[in-house]
Amino acid sequence: MKRKQNPIQIFGVGVAITIANATIANANQLANNNSFSSQDLIFKSQATAQINSVEDIIKPAQQPIPNTTNLNPSQNPLSLPTQADEVELDTQKPITLQQAIKLSLKNNQDIKEARIQVERPSAALREAKSGLYPNLDLESGLNYDDDLFLDSVIEQSADRTSQSSLIDSTSESFEFSTDLTLSYDIYDGGFRGANIRAAEKEQRTSELNLEVVVEQTRFETARDYYSLQNSDAQVEIEEAAIEDAAQTLQDAQLLEEGGLGTRFDVLRAEVELAQARQRLNIAIANQNIARRQLAETLSINHDSDLATADAIEEAGTWLLSLPESIVQAFKNRAELEQLLLQREIGEAQRQIALSQVRPTLSASASYGVNDEFEDDFDISDRYSVGLSLQWRLFDGGAANAGARQAEKDIEISETQFADRRNQIRFAVEQAYFGLESNQKNIGTATKELEPAEESLRLARLRFQAGVGTQTDVIEAQTDLTTARGNLLASIIDYNQSYIDLKRQVSDVADNSLYDFPD
């Protein structure tokens, strides 16, 4: 696509010069006359009128703030303002789109949540890999045993009957024992390997989810930034419309004073001016909403107010063809890889379920020490080694049922993959067609604006001369306002389509998961 010339630079300079010369000549003529007729008053009004070109409406780039650190919110996520002055907005701070993206990558709450979620599967993976190592258990005990009271009475009676008073009979024991056991599952039916694979896929899925959130945040930041630019320019357009309506009202009043106009023309001009003011009020409200929407996306301080520093111009040029864009999206979109990982996780879950009815072979070795304090013998020790085979021959069909559930999860993942692939293709095509259309509309709207300005100038001159109608002036004013809005909308819509296409293709140069600004 060939980049078009900035529309601000191509509007009717010749028209402005012609009008300026005419108004200066009329003003000089009035200055040389000692008396003023109604027609003189009309020309005097024309001499003071100004043409609102797009250069006055679409503002050039502003100087952004050098440092955005003060815009960052509190590090405490649970902070909550309790005083009105804590949320009262400060002066507007102009920032560029790149500054806005850096702020969103640092402060956006969705990104912070996604980064935390990446850490959870990492811990689960470490837990699954622990099955690769043997278990070492230590068990120790200290026991004291003695007979109850009834047993002692019976034993004493037996001792007196036998006259064996020389024998001191007792049943007390005080014993210490400790055992150290090493065990390892040589074969567990495939549970361990499948569990590790599932944990690895879950970790990769969470990383891809972070990538999705980052790219979506970039897109939403640019979208809200362009929306604020659009709202700013809409306010300028409506203010220019008020100036045009005020000029028409002034012309109607002068014509009425000179006996060339009617009260109806004045009233109609007043209605047109009132309607223009209503549109301005709505535009200002939309501007404030767009400004707060951008602040919410960037998650900045409660008292920070933003303005756009970039000029309204085409965001860039898309170099890929539609087929190349579609294929690139299929390669880059993290959502497709996520669904493929879900399919692999389903296969791992199937193996985990079937492992419950497969044989398990375990090896163990233990060493124990025992000492009974009441006897005269030394400490005794012992050791043992062994193999253990366990096989659940029947579980009521639970393992097979779990495997079938996992198989259905695999089929669902495959179906979702096909559906998401089709959605991605349509989204790329929609953004691509919108980009082409809006680029053409920029050229069309640029050509439309100059005739609309000239039409209003001529309609106003005809009305001032008494040969035209006020309806012609109002229609020309409406056409000019529409033309200005069309040019603005075509540029903003082009930028929105451009960033939408970048999002659908995931064509982000610095797409690093952990490369976040400090």
Pairing type for strands 360-372 and 173-187 reads antiparallel
Least confident of 65-79, 115-129, 199-213, 485-499: 65-79
Nearest Cα to Cα of residue 411 among 342, 316, 335: 342
% the chain with pLDDT above 90: 41
Model confidence at 302: pLDDT above 60: yes
Interatomic CA distance for residues 41 and 466, integer angstroms: 13
pLDDT tens by residue, 68-122? 877 777 676 777 777 776 677 777 888 999 999 999 898 888 898 898 888 888 8
Q: If you search the block for the tokens 């405490």, which residue do you land on?
A: 76
**Single-letter code of the amino acid located at 286:** N
Model confidence at 256: pLDDT above 80: yes
Nearest Cα to Cα of residue 371 among 363, 360, 382: 382
Q: Per-residue DSSP letters for 291-352?
A: HHHHHHHHT--TT-EEEE-S-S-------S-HHHHHHHHHHH-HHHHHHHHHHHHHHHHHHH
Q: If you search the block for the tokens 């309506």, which residue do you land on?
A: 245
Residues composing the chain? 518
Most confident listed range (367-371, 416-420, 489-493): 416-420
Complete domains list, the chain, with CATH? 7-77+84-130+192-354+396-505 (1.20.1600.10), 134-155+169-190+357-390 (2.20.200.10)
Least confident of 158-172, 239-253, 264-278, 494-508: 158-172
Helix, strand, coil abundance in the chain, percent, nearest 5: 65, 10, 25
Interatomic CA distance for residues 4 and 313, integer angstroms: 10
Q: Please name every residue paired with 62 in a beta bridge, in sequence order, or none if there are none.
A: none
Inter-CA distances, 142 with 175, 372, 383, Å: 6, 10, 19
Model confidence at 347: pLDDT above 90: yes
For the four alpha carbons of 447, 449, 452 and 457, in that order, the dihedral sign comes to negative
At 12, is the pLDDT very low, low, confident or very high (cuts 50, 70, 90)?
very low
Distance of CA 19 to the CA centre of its chain: 49
pLDDT tens by residue, 22-63? 333 333 333 333 333 434 434 344 433 444 555 555 667 788
Least confident of 60-69, 143-152, 425-434: 143-152
At 226, is the pLDDT very low, low, confident or very high (cuts 50, 70, 90)?
very high
Model confidence at 389: pLDDT above 90: yes
Rg from Cα positions in the chain: 42
Interatomic CA distance for residues 196 and 78, integer angstroms: 36
Helix (H, G, I), strand (E, B), or coil: what is residue 263?
helix
| Count of helix runs (H) and strand runs (E) in the chain | 12, 6
